[in-house]
Amino acid sequence: MSPSATVIAPSAASKLALEGGTPISPKPIPFMSTALFPADIDAATAVLKSGMLRAAKKCEELEQRFAKMTDAKHMMTCANGTCALQLAYEPLFNPGDEILVPAWSYIATVSMVVARGCTPVFVDAIPETYQIDMKDAAKKVTSKTRGIAATHLYGCPVDIDAVQALAAKHSLKVVYDAAQSHLATWKGKGIGAFGDAVTYSFYATKNLATGEGGSISCNDDALARKIKLLRSHGETDKYLHESVGYNYRMNDITGAIGCSRLDRLDAQTRQRQASAARFDAIIAKIPGLTPPATTPGGTAVFHLYVVKMDTTGFRCTRDEFCKALAAEGVPTAIHYPRPLPKQPALAKWDRKDCPVSDRLSTQVFALPMHHDLTDDHFRIVGEALNKVAAAYRA
Ligand SMILES: Cc1ncc(COP(=O)(O)O)c(C=O)c1O
């Protein structure tokens, strides 16, 4: 190939790939990185060879190590993050209780409140951090309010001081949904140190991923006992059932993968944080796009890196902008296309007063975020964002 053949004419370079121009990257860059390492496969294989497939030593090891890493006293593994929420809510909330919940989160945080027979009271989000707005929460406390279910969304801690202050004022129980926030910290401590219980998901795409899986942490011995009983049919001795419960146990193949991946979680979290800083620098220079803000006092672990678009600054919608980015080789994802009060399953409780969450559903998109991003990926994302923003600027 002659040197001149590699030169792209300026018009072709600036014409959107969507409209027949040359894409910034001919191949989409990976949105996430989920591949197992050989050590993970060896760990799972060792359990398979042992024949001890039920929850045993590997689940216990995962519980002990993850508790320590998150500053929690007790950690109970379970089948997934949804079960984790159920296991946390059931001993803490009673049917009929009003529970303050985020309007901006994944559905499980709220649907398991409903499954418990409680009434969800939607609280709006802070536009900069996307986290639950505790000023709005304070306005929504009634004589029936008994709890707060707050999500540390996208890897960013909520304002834990504000949550705990409101809880103390009104004697509320607090469950933090940390499905997206493994190893996040608050004022130098692991998030496991705060609230009545903290729940995690180990779903295949999470920062700590075992395929399916989850856990609950708490610092109260009696609550830990209740959760362990609920997790396994209230069984206190072989075929002796003290209370009614479920089978929400993890298994040791999953536990082994979790332990193996836990070896890398700290380093991979730091890689995510460094990647977020690089994206921040790129986005800060593009008018109309805003990087995510972190709650002061919290250290985020960037399960997702979510950008906000001021749609009034562009001649396109957020979805059209993302379509153009995809054509340039940059995949994005929308977390979430609708706020929870607008979900058909939850519409019964919509009080039409979460305007920030409504707006976010048309403004935000997530960029590729994982521990395997390379210099070339950052270049591609930067060039694609600049190209699409310039093409659509109002
Ligand atoms: C915030 C949040 N809560 C709960 C869950 C439920 O976890 P799982 O899919 O493991 O049941 C998820 C999973 O996506 C989540 O993101």
All domains of the chain in start order, with CATH: 38-260 (3.40.640.10), 264-392 (3.90.1150.10)
| Distance (Å) from CA 106 to ligand 1 centroid | 7
Q: What is the pLDDT of residues 203-239, one digit of tens each?
A: 999 999 999 999 999 999 999 999 999 999 999 999 9
Residue nearest atom 7 of ligand 1, based on CA coordinates: 81
Shortest-distance atom of ligand 1 to CA 85: 4
* Cα distance between residue 344 and residue 348, in whole Å: 8
| Ligand 1 mutation pick, 101, 181, 201, 210, max ligand atoms within 8 A of CB | 201
Residues 6+ apart with CB under 8 A from 264: 37, 371
The strand pair at 197-201 and 214-218 is best described as antiparallel
> How would you label 101-139 residue by residue, b for 16+ Cβ within 10 Å and e otherwise?
bbbbbbebbbbbbbebebbbbbbbbbbebbbbbbebbee
* Cα distance between residue 330 and residue 273, in whole Å: 20
Q: What is the pLDDT of residues 338-356, one digit of tens each?
A: 999 999 999 899 777 999 9
- φ, ψ of residue 265 to 5 degrees: the values are -60, -40
What DSSP character marks residue 184? -
* Ligand 1 binding site (Cβ under 6 Å of any ligand atom): 80-82, 105-106, 108-109, 151, 177, 179-180, 201, 203, 214
Name residue 322's amino acid: C
Contact yes or no for 80/206 (Cβ under 8 A): no
Shortest-distance atom of ligand 1 to CA 213: 10
Percent pLDDT > 90 in the chain is 95
Q: What is the pLDDT of residues 175-197, one digit of tens each?
A: 999 999 999 999 999 999 999 99
Residue nearest atom 12 of ligand 1, based on CA coordinates: 179
| pTM attached to this predicted model | 0.96
Residues 6+ apart with CB under 8 A from 240: none
